[in-house]
Amino acid sequence: MKNRLPILATVLMLMQGCNSNLDLLPKDQLTIPTAFVDYNGFQTYAWSFYNVFPGYSESVPTSDIDGDLFLNANPNGQSKWAYRQIIVPSSSEDYNGPYQNIRAINIMLDNIDASKLSDTDKLHWRSVGYFFRAFNYANLLNKYGGVPLVLKALTDGDQEELFAPRNSRDEVAKQILADLAFAEANIKPNGDGPNTINSHVVRAFISRFGLREGTWRKYHEMADAESYLQASAEASAKLITTFPNVTANYDDDFNSASLAGVTGILLYKQYETNQIVHVLSSRARQSAGRWDLTKKAADMYLMTDGKTRFTSPLFEGDKSPYTEFRKRDKRMYYTTPPPFKVTVTGQSWAHTGVAADAEYFPLMASISNEQHKTLPTMNWGAIPVRHEPHYADDAQGQAFCVTYTGYRFYKFGNKLVNGLQNVDINDCPIFRMAEIFVNHAEAKYELGALDQTTVDNTINKLRVRGGVAPLEMANIPTDPTRDATVSAVLWEIRRERAIELMGEGFRFDDLRRWKKLNYATERKLGRWIKKGVDVAASASIPIQDGASEGYISYEPVSPGEIPAHYYLHPIPTNQIVLNPKMEQNPGWE
């Protein structure tokens, strides 16, 4: 049975919304005398904080569409950021949500000292509160830069604080790091039991936040980058000492019915039939998701010899999907379906009799199983797909599992619950060691302290499970697509990060912190196809430059370089109306 803390958190929130007694008096007056008395009261109250983790929300892969490695496989689905179509919102949950969470957290923090908790338990619950407050402020800082710091639960009498100007980025970032440092030092090492916030989870977030803030400061030419990078590197190093390995199967990180005990998983969001479910696996196996990898993303996956597809003698060309997928990083097969063809009758299928059409069946059988990613791919109702790639504009009667680019994203897809739509139960990792590995390698590089031992303990452990030759700092293969402003070593670290975290909602923010949003303006291409051979001659699939053979190209040419002010989100206008001292981010006025 799964640990139920995050599940119960959602249930409690629903109960609070429908309990008529709670509507009779202000909620704060009712909950404070009862919630903040003993350990159990604090524990129950804090369960709702876990809802800040999105888990398998459709918003996670959707956010990657704003980067360079994902395409929205829908008409007019291009990124509003890349095409300069962002409108300053009147309100935004990205702004309001964290402040609602912070208020709830501050209420708990304000009531710790007067409780009956022991001194040790007071430190623990203050640490839990500080962790979640830091997490919410980090989300605000990431999007908006400096924002008002509120470190207590405000009332109508706190007029000065209610109408305070924005704190600087420095002040907010320092507060986040201070909260996390306190939490790391004082939280119970094992938290409140399995799959709860503990010292390892705190370090995992220091690893993430320190890298994000440190590199933002470095590439946006701000002071004090090193202290944040050092915090990231130190937290990551502690975790790597304690958790030196990841599970051997990449797919297990994302498509396990339970992540309890899975090597390298530090915290996860739990899903269980009849309690809390998600829809992401179903979306990955029908038309609704419409998330595609771009040609650039596919090209990033290395050959098994550790070289790029542009330089490796193992690469046999990309004019056929069958040759393009040969001898690639295994993570490619878990992220986008390899090619095949079968004949389908209802829910039954059979091989075509053409050997090439079945080439990848043995490979997928060797690295997956019938509950996960063996071929043929299927929709949520267990109806087999006739062929992959399965183009939206050449679907031949099957309107599900379709793609624009030919690289359909199915990383979170599985067959654990066949025949049922939108009741997916695979657990979602929130913090995992694979991310810590790539964080650590990047932070050490940025600090000028990367060596081969660090690479072997991070990047190369991920390459092992991808079946890819190790990275050797003294012998890095040439990549003709490398950005000339990025060193060869850093390019490989960023490649590993992109591949390992594909579709997990990191890429757009990575481009922002590296000051590389220009990548998102590159033409998003798909596979090489020839009309009349790979697809019907009449298929309405657009090809680059209007040719009948070439790379698929649905999106128009972008308007050019993304403006500098697009690196931060605009402050919602209602916040500026409510607080005359609130200033808009420059460029969005």
Return d(Cα 131, Cα 550) in angstroms, integer: 50
Q: pLDDT tens digits for 169-186?
A: 999 999 999 999 999 999
pLDDT in tens, 372-395: 999 999 998 899 999 999 999 997
Amino acid found at 214: G
Query: What's the pLDDT score for residue 109?
Result: 98
What pLDDT is recorded for position 289? 67
At residue 10, does pLDDT exceed 60?
Answer: no
81-95, 271-285, 301-315, 483-497 — which is least confidently predicted?
A: 271-285
Q: How do residues 264-314 score in pLDDT, each as one tens digit?
A: 999 999 999 888 999 988 887 776 668 999 999 999 999 999 999 999 999
* Tokens encoding 115: 């409780």
Mean pLDDT across 227-256: 98
pLDDT at 396: 79
Tell me the C-alpha to C-alpha distance, in Å, between residue 288 and each of 254, 389, 424, 518, 552.
Answer: 20, 17, 15, 29, 21
pLDDT of residue 287: 63
Percent of the chain with pLDDT over 90: 88
- Other beta carbons within 10 angstroms of residue 241's beta carbon come to 9
Report helix, strand and coil shares of the chain as percent, to nearest 5.
45, 10, 50
- Tens digits of residue pLDDT in 462-482: 999 999 999 999 999 999 999
- For the stretch 27-69, pLDDT in tens is 444 467 788 999 999 999 999 999 999 999 999 999 999 999 9
DSSP lists the bridge partners of residue 70 as 293
Contacts of 301 (CB under 8 A, 6+ apart): 309, 328, 329, 331, 332, 499
Task: Report the pLDDT value the prediction gives residue 8, as an integer from 0 to 100.
Answer: 38
Distance CA 135, CA 63 (A): 19
In this prediction, residue 148 carries a pLDDT of 97
Phi-psi domain of 490 (left: phi exceeds 0; alpha: psi -120 through 50; beta: other)? alpha
Instruction: Give the pLDDT mean for 217-227.
Output: 98
